[in-house]
Amino acid sequence: MKDKKVIMMKNLIIVFVMFIGTLSFAQNKNAKASIEVDGVCQMCKDRIEKAAINTKGVKFATWSVDTHELKLIFDERKTNLKAIQKSVTAVGHDTKEMKASDEAYSKVHPCCKYRDEDVKDAHKN
């Protein structure tokens, strides 16, 4: 009877270790993703990148003025795209999936008012 308990305990430990091992591989510490973020200039670029990189778990962030693409490398164990988008919208920039609050948008520099067609047109030149 004692041998059966020992064998069952060993089997339980093996299954538990395999389960934990599977969970640890499920999240990538160097996940790559890109999201669309609205902005028009170098000041926007600096603000967007700073907001993203200051999000815990983000290792790399670069935003293109031309394509509006924010390229990211982040640790999925510490953050996710929704959290990163919240950080970006908190500093006044819309993403494809989230919109910055009017209060956050009102705090961006007048040159960065990407929702204003006149400002967008001024940056095309």
Q: Classify residue 8: in a domain, yes or no.
A: no
- Residue 50: CB atoms within 10 A of its CB come to 13
Q: What is the mean pLDDT of residues 61-89?
A: 97
Domain total of the chain: 1
pTM summary value: 0.78
Task: Give the model confidence (pLDDT) of 40-71 as tens digits.
Answer: 999 999 999 999 999 999 999 999 999 999 99
Asked whether residue 60 is domain-assigned, the answer is: yes
Both tokens of 62, joined, read: 């670069």
In contact, 101 and 89? CB cutoff 8 Å: yes
> Which CATH number does the domain housing residue 60 bear?
3.30.70.100
Residue 108 domain-assigned? yes
DSSP labels, 98-115 = ----HHHHHTS-GGG-TT
User: 62: domain range?
Assistant: 31-124
Whether residue 17 is contained in a domain is answered as no
Is 37 contained in some domain? yes
Q: How confident is the model at residue 17 (pLDDT cuts 50, 70, 90)?
A: low
Within 1-125, strands assigned E span 31-36, 58-63, 69-74
CA angle 112, 113, 118 (to 5 degrees): 110
**Strand ranges in 9-89 using DSSP code E only, listed in sequence order:** 31-36, 58-63, 69-74
